[in-house]
Amino acid sequence: MEIHESAENYLEAILALSEKGSVRSIDVAQHLGFSKPSVSRAMSLLRDNGYVTMDENSFLILTPAGREIAETIYERHRLLTQWLTWLGVPPEIAAEDACKIEHDLSPETFQALKDHIGKHPQLNQG
* pLDDT digits 0-9 by tens, 76-124: 999 999 999 999 999 999 999 998 999 889 999 999 998 988 887 776 6
Whether 9 has a pLDDT exceeding 70, the answer reads yes
**Nearest alpha-carbon partner for 11 in 45, 35, 36, 56:** 45
- Whole-prediction pTM: 0.84
Strand partners, 52: 62
Strands (E), 19-70: 52-54, 60-62
Cβ distance 63 to 51 under 8 Å? yes
Q: What domains are defined for the chain?
A: 5-68 (1.10.10.10), 74-124 (1.10.60.10)
**What is the predicted pLDDT for the residue at 1?**
45
